[in-house]
Copies of this chain bind each other. A is one copy, B any other.
Amino acid sequence: LPFDPVAEARRHWEEHGWAPAAANMAAVTSVMRAQQIFLARVDATLKPFGLTFARFELLALLSFTRTGALPLGKIGDRLQVHAASVTNAVDRLEASGLVARTAHLEDRRITLAAITGPGRRLVARATQALNAGAFADIGLDGDQVERLIAILAQVRAACGDFAQPEAQDRS
Contacts and interface: CB of A to CB of B under 8 A. Distances in A.
9 contacts: A2-B162, A4-B161, A9-B64, A20-B131, A26-B149, A27-B145, A30-B149, A33-B161, A140-B151
Interface residues of A, number: 70
A136 interface: yes
B162 A25 contact: no
Contact of A156 (B2, B34, B153, B170): B34
Most chain B beta carbons < 10 A, residue from A3, A4, A27? A27
B34 A145 contact: no
Given A145-B23, A151-B148, A154-B140, A41 B130 contact: no
A134 to B, nearest CB: 7
Interface in A123-171: 127, 130-132, 134-142, 144-149, 151-163, 165, 170
